[in-house]
Each structure stands twice: as C-alpha cells, then as structure tokens.
Amino acid sequence: MSTLLDQDGLVATWCRINGGAEPDGLACSELDASGETVPHPHPSARRQIVMTDIYCQIAEQIGHVAAMSVAVTTRSFGIRVPDVIWMSPEKWEGIDREKGPIPFVPDLCVEVLLDRDVPRDIEHRVSGYLESGAREVIVVGQRGEVQFYGVDGLRQASAFGIVLSLEPMYFDA
C-alpha cells in the first residue's frame, strides 16, 4: 500500500520528474496521490486541433484566461493535466506559471477523450477536480459528445453558459 504525499511532496516529485519537459507543457507527466507517475501521452494532431478549438471557444465565450495542458494540484487525486482550463483573472495573479503546477484546481477543467483509450479513471478525474475546487468539468467523448459536470453531478448545460460547437470530422462516427 503506498503512502499519500502531501502537496509539497507531490510538487517536489513532479518538478523533479518534469524538469526537462517541453516549455509548452504538452509532454509532462502526471502523478497520482502517492507520487507515482501516471502516463500522460502527447496528444495526437487530431486531438490537439480539438483541444485548440475548445480553448478558443471558451476564451471567446467567457474570457481570455484559458490555457491548454497546464498541470494542476488536486486535493486527493495527485497532479493532473487537464486538456483545457479556465479561471478568473484574479486567480491567475500571484501564480508563478513558469515553475511547477498550479497549486489548486481552476474553476473549469476540460478533458478530451479523443484518441485515448477511454480512461478508466475519468469519473475519478472529474470528482478529483470538483472536490478540489473546480466549479465545472467538461468531458468531450470520442464521438464528440459533450457532458457538463458540477458538484451536483451531470448537468444539462454549462453553468458558465459555454456552448461548444465541435467539428464532426475529427471524431469517430
């Protein structure tokens, strides 16, 4: 049975493992709550296009303080790298974006399942983000289906008023 690391231990381990990661953040690893490396493969070109499209739509609809593939620190699920995040400008202030993961989970996290084996841990990812402070998690399925989750569970629509229009040609039919 592995021991859960505190936040400082997780961050130190993550920084050691990801010391040589690319500056764009797309090649970094994730850690589970015990500090064990979780594979986080580089997204395919198709998935990157969809992630960029989602990023642009979110930035256009609720503000230009979104980012792609940024490591975040959860309370119970380790350090994870959502595909897209958004948070208010006030939360970005005071964060050293050049060093380590964000020390908390942003208001909005998006996971794109395209070109990935559907992660067995998607429910854990969603609950880990929500339990750590996310107000909403959006999951985009392999066929382009969009689901919105809040602390109250699956929602019919985004609490942020986000409407995603995704190009069907990038998804499996």
Asked whether the beta carbons of 117 and 77 are under 8 A apart, the reply is no
Nearest to 47 by CA among 164, 144, 170: 170
User: Would you place residue 167 in the very low, low, confident or very high pLDDT band (cuts 50, 70, 90)?
Assistant: very high
Q: What is the mean pLDDT of the chain?
A: 84
Rounded Cα gap, residues 116 and 107, in angstroms: 24
| Domains identified in the chain, total number | 1
CATH number where 73 lies = 3.90.1570.10
> Model confidence over 84-125: pLDDT tens digits?
999 988 888 878 766 678 999 999 999 999 877 656 778 889
pLDDT of residue 84: 96
> Model confidence over 13-62: pLDDT tens digits?
666 666 655 444 444 678 888 888 887 778 889 999 999 999 999 999 99
Tell me the chain's radius of gyration from C-alpha atoms: 15
Nearest to 146 by CA among 164, 124, 169, 134: 164
For residue 10, is it within any domain? no
For residue 19, is it within any domain? no
For residue 20, is it within any domain? no
pLDDT of residue 44: 87
For residue 115, is it within any domain? yes
> Model confidence over 71-81: pLDDT tens digits?
999 988 888 99
For residue 163, is it within any domain? yes
Asked whether the beta carbons of 24 and 67 are under 8 A apart, the reply is no
Q: What is the pTM of this model?
A: 0.84
Q: Is 148 helix (H, G, I), strand (E, B) or coil?
A: strand
What residues make up the domain containing 67?
A: 43-170
pLDDT of residue 117: 67
For residue 13, is it within any domain? no
